[in-house]
Structure 1
Amino acid sequence: MDYEDFKNEVEQSKQFPLNIKDGVLDYRNTTYPLRNISHIKLVEKSVTEMTTGFFKALLGLLGIGILILGLFAFFGNCTRGQYGGTVASAIMIILGAWLRSLVKEEDHQFYGLAIETNSGSNELFFSDDKDFIEKVKEVLSRALAHPNDIRYTIHIGDKHFIDNSVRNLTQNSYYEFNVEQHTGLSEEQKDYILGDFKRSIEKLQDELSTINESQVTKNELSNIVNEINSDRPDPSKIKQSYEKIKSIADGYSTITSLSEFGGAIGRTVMMFV
């Protein structure tokens, strides 16, 4: 897709609001049940724009082409066909280099929101505003963790967020991660901790909040977060806190997200080994 077509697609996407309600993501008349979304990611796309100098050069080339034909005939007659073709070819090379010098290319960077479902990957929309996409990604991550509570309408055109959630996202953010100091982690690993891992820990905390040992498990989850936020996370301490949580949660049939959290712990611990 060339730049103009891509730009038009970006502009068209601004006409549709993105709605999150009752465990469903709705965008451009397509619905995605949140339970079917396994991953959310920010994608980048660079699109090259060709300036109008190229097309102006093409118009000029039409007139020059007539001149080339005349020169070809002239040199062909003058040299009895021995050097006419060579001279014409040289002229073509010079004109080709001139034409290429008129072509101006400019790269434009766009950022998109993509979701992974059981049917594959879907790119919802793109914008030239990375911060906006990051904010939408954060809201959607919250919705995956709390599908029955989060209700949002996001107007892509004016970047307006309408929060109709049962609870406010900012005030009810259980845990905050700071992973920028971990220079050994890749951007993908940092995104995983800030997204999927954070979502899984908050989902588990919601379930653990109803049990008798809720304060104990909450403290251990806080220990895990604090350890990850430390300058040099100790994998053994993270696993130790998880084992304490697991020993308590295994006694409750209502705790269904422990297995998911265990997988997230295993993946995260390997980042610091």
Structure 2
Amino acid sequence: MQLSRKDLKEFLDAKVHKYNTPEFIETDPIQIPHLFQKKEDIEISGFLTATISWGNRKSILKNSAKLMDLMDRSPHDFILNHDQSDLENLNGFVHRTFNSDDLIYFIKALKNIYDNHRGLEPIFTVNSTNDSLQPAIHKFKSIFFELPHQKRTQKHISDPFKNSAAKRINMFLRWMVRNDYSGVDFGLWKDIALSKLSCPLDVHSGNVARKLGILKRKMNDAKALSELDTNLRQLDPVDPVKYDFALFGLGVFEKDGF
């Protein structure tokens, strides 16, 4: 499907208008952080939910809700004040390859971040560049794993510097940074420009982007993400990642039927 730049923008803008609505929340993992009002609860629940957002969507929602229940529906308080018995209660949690050992380390790492690094937001704010959050994701991973840990747990946070598209953490960053004024994304992190966000590139958005001619690279990796970001920023330099709603909606809800 080859469109002129003007027609492509109009087409995608219409799809953003269609899908960037409160109804989107009903079937999306973003519904989990929407259970909370406190900034830190939204951040932590969003981060953990994004971490396990792969595979069957019903399973993602079920296990994310279960995780919030295990944290007494107060994730920030749980992170800061848990004891050993609280951690033992997490034993048996599993989502695909993310198991309770991984979860327990994530709890400890998040406590370290809130106790010693002033929380999640400053890490990404300070370590972003003029036009990208990908270096900040790389730095975040190094901070996150600065405590003793099992090597296997590292696979649950992607690193753009190792050519990963880092879909899940880019999705989390969209949730936190982007204010869409329609009640879907939160816009909690005010000191990061929307223009620095990268599209959460996965099989659905990648296939649609290729069909539209805004992505040529066949692999969904960091190089493909850079190519897609460049093209989306040409369509909207201020809020390029709004097109994630269009690409995802076309791929999942319309099954590429365009």
Q: Tell me the TM-score normalized by structure 1.
A: 0.25
Q: TM-score, normalised by structure 2?
A: 0.26
Q: Could you say which structure has the higher helix fraction?
A: 2
| Structure label with greater radius of gyration | 1
